[in-house]
Amino acid sequence: MNGIKHILEYKGFIGSIEADADENILYGFVQNIPNGKTDSISYEGETIKELRKDFEEAIDFYLEESQWYQSL
């Protein structure tokens, strides 16, 4: 049996796992945005599976947008 892990990891990014019992959702924020940027990346889901999916999609979107801005 696996222990409870309180972070998500994807492509070198680390995200928190937090819960809002009143809203019945899980959510989190990326903890290590590179280069001292002030960007904020958040994600949410009703299950761990949904939370992980939204986290990964948020990272992929962030990386795509970063490349687009660098190409300007």
Give the DSSP per-residue string, the chain: -PPP--EEEETTEEEE-EEETTTTEEEEEBS--GGG-----EEEESSHHHHHHHHHHHHHHHHHHHHHHHT-
Tell whether pTM > 0.85: no
The pLDDT of residue 1 is above 50? no
pLDDT of residue 14 exceeding 70, the answer is yes
pLDDT band for 34, please (50, 70, 90 cuts).
Answer: confident
